[in-house]
Amino acid sequence: MSCYHLPMSKPDHPDRHSRAARRIATTFGLGEILPAPGTTAGSLPAALVWAALATTLPSARLLLTVTGGLTIAAVIMGVWAAGKEASRRGAEDPGPVVIDEVAGQWLCYLTALPFIPLDVGPAPLFVTAAGFFLFRLFDVWKPWPIRSLEQLPGGIGIVADDLAAGLLAGIVLAAGWRVIVG
């Protein structure tokens, strides 16, 4: 066999990336089977994961680091997966795509965490619940300028409005904590 007839390596199967994008975008298929997927398959699982971390990690600094890492990973993978899955489905922001809610929910906690001491009694569970409800409020309501971010192209537009809702929810959560608790 001459060097001109070397066997070519097999290219990645085109469906492998589509399957990975679908799993990530729908949080392992939950977005396709649960009712109200943004809440039940996106925000709620993200809040429950964060609550588990907040009640088991040994320090607020480690919780902040882990929450930051999860948020960054959800944003990066989410933009790619949401865009790919939206394209596959032929829709701008398909309901089963919920990775954007996961990223937004975690950003809410990441934003509020530096301003809330979680070593005070039931604080982690209160923060989890309050952050969940505030994020869902702003994600559904989409006050200005959050709604306009949906106009951004592809996965960026799918994820950006949820990040803005998460940021706003985190700011309100931290401010509310300061006003109520001191």
Q: Is residue 144 part of a domain?
A: yes
For 102-151, what is each residue's pLDDT tens digit?
A: 999 999 999 999 999 887 667 899 999 999 999 999 999 999 999 999 99
Would residue 106 count as lying in a domain? yes
Say whether pLDDT at 1 is over 90: no
- Percent of the chain predicted with pLDDT > 90: 82
On whether residue 5 sits in a domain, the answer given is no
Contact 28, 99 (CB under 8 A): no
**What pLDDT is attached to residue 119?**
73
Q: What are the pLDDT digits (tens) for 15-28? A: 888 899 999 999 99
14 found inside a domain: no
- Predicted TM-score (pTM) of this structure: 0.90
pLDDT at position 36: 94
Select the highest-mean-pLDDT range: 2-16, 108-122, 154-168.
154-168
Total count of domains within the chain? 1
The domain of 105 spans 29-180
Residue-wise DSSP of 141-175: H-TTTTGGGGGSSHHHHHHHHHHHHHHHHHHHHHH
Helices (H), 11-145: 14-25, 30-33, 37, 44-56, 60-89, 99-112, 123-141
Give residue 2's pLDDT.
Answer: 47
Residue 2 located in a structural domain: no
Residue 23 inside a domain? The answer is no
For the chain, give the mean pLDDT. Answer: 91
| Least confident residue range of 10-24, 73-87, 150-164 | 10-24
Residue 3, domain member (yes or no):
no
In a domain, 16, yes or no: no
| Residue 138: closest CA among 43, 64, 54, 66 | 43
Torsion on CA atoms 88, 15, 80, 62, rounded to nearest 10: 130
14 vs 25, residue with greater confidence: 25
Tokens of 125: 């569970």
